[in-house]
């Protein structure tokens, strides 16, 4: 029915010599502009949400990767070397900051307990503008690393 009406209008449109007044055109453009602005906000919001989700996912991958390197090494020093972080010869509780593309990777390490090896509490977070994008806390036991 609607298609039929559209086709009718198009067919008769060329014979119709009546036009719109300037005021009508301005009002209709203004009304359309307002509606389009609201709709555009919807698209902008969708784009911003998507970008934010992508940033969080990238940060999550970076944090997981750092935690895996820390967990897979024989000693905490090997892990920090593998991550390209300069460190002292003895780490009991220390915080390291690695600047990455668009965010900072912050690694907190704290040795605890009295074990034959060394048990570290590890906290890795990715921060951008003082906001946590992703964070993981875990512990790793370095059996090969004796107490400092």
User: Is position 14 an interface residue for other proteins (rule: CB under 8 A)?
Assistant: no
Our CB check for other proteins shows the closer of 72 and 88 to be: 72
User: Is position 136 an interface residue for other proteins (rule: CB under 8 A)?
Assistant: yes
Measured CA to CA in angstroms, residue 19 lies from 7, 11, 13, 30, 133 at distances of 19, 16, 10, 18, 57
Euclidean distance between CA atoms 94 and 111, whole angstroms: 9
Euclidean distance between CA atoms 10 and 7, whole angstroms: 5
User: Is position 26 an interface residue for other proteins (rule: CB under 8 A)?
Assistant: no
Give me the residues that bind other proteins (CB under 8 A), please: 1-2, 4-6, 8-9, 12-13, 16, 32, 35-36, 39, 42-43, 45-47, 49-50, 52-54, 56-57, 60, 64, 67, 71, 113-117, 119, 134, 136-141, 143
């Amino acid at each position: 029915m609607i298609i039929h009406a559209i086709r009718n209008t198009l067919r008769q449109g060329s014979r119709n010599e009546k036009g719109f007044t300037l005021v009508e055109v301005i009002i209709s453009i203004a009304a359309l502009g307002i509606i389009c602005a609201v709709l555009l906000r919807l698209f902008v919001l969708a784009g911003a949400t998507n970008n934010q989700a992508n940033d969080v996912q990238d940060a999550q991958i970076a944090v997981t990767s750092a935690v895996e390197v820390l967990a897979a090494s024989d000693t905490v020093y090997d892990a920090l070397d593998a991550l390209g972080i300069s460190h002292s010869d003895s780490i009991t509780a220390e915080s390291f900051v690695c600047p990455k593309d668009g965010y900072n990777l912050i690694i907190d390490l704290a040795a605890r307990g009295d074990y034959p090896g060394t048990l570290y509490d590890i906290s890795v977070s990715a921060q951008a503008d003082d906001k946590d994008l992703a964070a993981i806390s875990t512990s790793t036991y370095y059996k090969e690393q004796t107490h400092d």
